[in-house]
Structure 1
Amino acid sequence: MAGEEAILHEALGRWRDAVGAHEPERVAAGFTPDAIFQGLHPYGVGREAVAAYYAAQPAGLAADYRILETRRPADGLVLGYLAVDFTFPDRPALHVNLAVLLRRTDDGWLIAHYQVSRLD
């Protein structure tokens, strides 16, 4: 699974860095144009939905993740299941689980599906 983890770290590292820099358009660039995105608000489709979601997040938001499971359901796809801690400058951290499906594209590995689950 080392190959899958490397793919996830590369794509999610870009996501994490863009979230921490509060750059919604750069976050969205890590997603496919038709990505299904489910944060903690109603879902959206596409990069515009991703950018709008992260534009509404507070400055100072940071994400730290840990890969729990990986799978390669088909050639050109990598599934990741992660534990993510979102930290804020002014309130307690938010702990969630995140499932992502990455798709290999001409632009590299991009997030095609993003699904957050809050378990507490």
Structure 2
Amino acid sequence: MITTADDTAVLSRVLDRWKAAVDGHRPADVAALFTEDAIFQGLHPYSVGRPGVAAYYASQPPGMKAAYRILETRRLADGVVLGYLAVEFSFRDRSPLEVKLSVVVTRVAQDWYLGHYQVSRLE
């Protein structure tokens, strides 16, 4: 399967809320976008669940902003979408950081949540 407008829209709905919470330095709001058992891999050791996500984003500097671009999507199953993105994190006091991000969003009841988040820093 290839990237579709529906899958891109699903990812955008979740990632727009993620971006707003990251940009607003609201770690609890970021964590609430993840499933209870989400596997989270930022640029530090991985964690499972919302507390690890909240701790990771609480450790980020105030003023950090995220800008993302969806590169690919795949519908893995009904209610499961894989996304591959380019993300630039900008900071007040240092150069931006460009990463690649893979996410899996899953439908739970009437909403979508991040169940897997994997950052790669390519140089």
Tell me if 1:64 matches 2:67.
yes
Q: Give the corresponding residue for 2:6.
A: 3
Alignment size in residue pairs:
120
CA deviation vs aligned residue, 1:11-53 (integer Å, no higher than 9, x gap): 0000000000000000000000000000000000000000000
Closer, same or farther in 2 for the Cα pair 1:33/1:107, shift >3 Å? farther
CA deviation vs aligned residue, 1:69-89 (integer Å, no higher than 9, x gap): 000011110000000000000
* Structure 1 residue 106, shift from structure 2 partner: 1.7
| TM-score (norm: length of structure 1) | 0.99
SS in structure 1 of the partner of residue 78 of structure 2: coil
Letter in 2 for 1:85: E
Q: Equivalent residues in 2 for 1:5-84 (5 A)?
A: 5-84=8-87
| TM-score (norm: length of structure 2) | 0.96
Consecutive unaligned residues in structure 1, runs of 5 or more: none
Task: Please give the root-mean-square deviation of Cα atoms over the aligned residues, in Å.
Answer: 0.6
* Structure 2: distance between partners of 1:8 and 1:35: 16
SS in structure 1 of the partner of residue 66 of structure 2: strand
* Structure 2: distance between partners of 1:106 and 1:89: 38
* Structure 2: distance between partners of 1:65 and 1:16: 8
Percent identity reads 61
* Structure 2: distance between partners of 1:7 and 1:87: 25
Q: Give the corresponding residue for 1:106.
A: 109
Q: Give the corresponding residue for 1:116.
A: 119
Consecutive unaligned residues in structure 2, runs of 5 or more: none
* Structure 2: distance between partners of 1:107 and 1:83: 27
Letter in 1 for 2:120: S
Where does structure 1 differ by over 6 angstroms across 4 or more consecutive aligned residues? none
